[in-house]
Structure 1
Amino acid sequence: MEVTRNVRLVAWMQEHGHSSASLAEAVNLAMERLTGRPGGHDGSSVRAWKSGRIRWPNAASRRGLEAVTGLPASDLGFVPRGRARSNPGLNQEDPDMDRRNLIGGLAATAAVAAAAPGIAPRRIGMNDVKRLQTRFTEIVASDHRHGGQLTIEQRAAALADEALNLQAAGSATQRVRSNLYAAAAAFRSSAMWAAIDGRRYVEAQRHMREAQALAEMSGDQAIKFRIWSHAGSMYRHLGRPSDAFAANDVARGLHITRRDPMFASLGLARQAAIHGTAQERTGTKRAFDQAQEAMNRADPHAPRPVWLVAFYDQAELDSLALSAYLALGEYQTAEAHAHRCLAGLRPHMARSRTITQTRLAHAQLAQGEAEAAVAVAMKVPAAAATQHARVSRMLNEFGAALRATAPGSINVQTWTEHTAAWRASA
């Protein structure tokens, strides 16, 4: 049998910025949502589809592909084995049905309601999307003030569900539906980040899977970048640098990083932080230099998503550098980035300021500057010290290191009394 390259699938992948590995991952996630079991595809599976070696994937794989792309398998260049389709309706799934399955049947309920006699379906428009996005801005702001709180995670997840309910509430153009899926993916990714920040990693992975499936249906490159970049950060915090590199590579491979250097800069900065966790000094420095160069090239006035504009700037780049060099044990360099970050942080970045102060205290203590370190650590607000999971853990580690390096000193006494006052006020 002659093998013919599947040019339609290749073209779709190029248009949407997919590598073979990233498409395989997206299909696996969609298959898990549709069947309850994750798919077993990898990059070689997709390469077999692209090359034409597999002309007609099995039914579960086709459903996964159609859910990801929103197109019937035949429109992706696939051809049934050994026969023409006598009844196309029997051999290709309705992509809208895949979407309904993926969001728990909400759209099916809307279709039934729309078909009911005497009930006119509501028309959903961009103003509905904008109202959701306005509320999303409030959640982003709350995250920057507090970070990691369960209430933020719950609010973001509820907003994602609301966006999906709106999908089911009436009729809409494809543009509006794509924007609703993108909004739901953004909200779910904020729930994911709140869970990561609060060290609730099981919940974070659940939100990640939801967000990835929604992002694929939206086709929005920016939100795809955010989710995969968050996944890289999650695996870095879990101490799994290989997985962190793989996830962050998906984000960095998207077309948006070539269109906008600011996205490229963030991807490189997070890559450098992963190099730090992996104890790779050369990779850390090279990636940070590249991240800085990309940021310097970026147009500061270019339109960008609210979540990116709200946090990524020179101060955040220095915050990631602080984390990396602290992990590498290069404490003087880490301290320099900490001071630079604190000087550049915008007023609304309360969560970032708290984390930076805590890391700065660690860097100073490791250099033998116990008095200065304690003074910095005492600037952390009591609420963050007792309620933010990451900050609480880092401060507990700080106290243990202080007692180990200066047992019985006045600095230990000062710190012990201060933390007692924190606990009493909690």
Structure 2
Amino acid sequence: MTIRIDRRHFLMGSSALIAAGAAGISPAFAQAERLRLLFWGGQARADRTYAVTDLYQAAKGTDVEGEFLAWNDYWPKLATQTAGGNAPDIIQMDYRYIVEYAQRNAIAPLDEFVGGALKLDDFDADQLEGGKVDGSLYGISLGANSVALMVNTTAFEEAGVAAPNRDLTYDEIMAMGEAFNSANVRGGMKVIMDGSGSEPMLDNWLRQKGLALYTADGKLGFDADAMTEWFQLWSQMREAGVCVSAEDQALDTGPHETTMLVLGKAAMMPSNSNQLVGFQAVMQDDITISSYPRLAAGVGGGHYRKPSMFFSVAGSSANKEAAAEFLSFFVNDPEAAAVLGVERGIPCSAAVRDAIAPTLSEQDQIALNFVANLGDLLGPLPPSPPAAAGEIDISLLRTLSQEVGFGARSPEDAGPYFVKEATAILNRA
């Protein structure tokens, strides 16, 4: 999913979270018969989620009151509610932020409920590990996914170009882009969006080089030369008309509807495997997913099975055990699993995967098979990003991507500047 949030709102959310930690917010009074749930996503995710909360109320008698927002609105609201002692009982949490929220006691450890209210007997070990901070379990993975390219196969057919497969390289994207331009697909559709500001795509590219976005101790895992090369790669694509222009890319404000794929300006965009269902729901063209491009033939290891997102329980919740019971239902109940499908990723319970596999739609089957068959593309799960990673992504990487795109900076200037400023942000944090 392409995500954007401006610096002012990001810093507002972070400041609110810091204030919550400093103030030692105490639990708000809660009604035992009602749980509050906050999550990010679009209407399709909301429909599935609310169908499961209805199932839960019918089965357990507990009302779960849900609210959803777009990604760029979600984090400021969550941080503000947390600071005000009014956080929802159940919080959808991201791998990027789980360390920060756990260390500030904004979410609660769940270990005491495992084996009781929270059943995780056949949960995938790597997905359990991904929800731990300092050895304690703070998040229950709602599905495993991997980064993936969303591919408009209808557009590729119109261009007379074979759709990409798991052997795609960056050089082949250049060739595909030239073919799209020659065919003048839909009056100028490009083969790919501008990925220079996509942190997951940068991460994947670095991993293929044997580098890392962040090290286990929260430092940058690459140098200025690597960052310069990254900006140069996309500048070359932009100058050749292979990726979209900076003007077009600036139209992408986060929601699916504003992405280059849905707007029809690009035939491919970096995203995540679980997003296939959501993108297909808002597009007439047929789309599928493929792996991120390789640096060269035979180079792999950039992908990993990431917890797509977690459910966590607020540190201020007065209903922690009841919330843990809901989490257990959400990830284990076969009827709930049939409703959820793989929209949030591949289920982490082997029994749930087996139960829903025959019921999956074509898009769901594609996502499941993609994550299950990454082969030599698959590498180890990296450590959770440091607390300041969100600011680096939103306020630095995306800003520099636009500045290079519009010609305000050269790649040779942007690379060292990124490393210098990112290091300063990490040091301040």
TM normalised by structure 2 equals: 0.27
Larger Rg: 1
Flag the structure with higher helix content. Answer: 1
Structure with the bigger RCO (C-alpha within 8 Å, sep 6+) is 2
Q: Normalising to structure 1: TM-score of the pair?
A: 0.27
More strand by percentage: 2
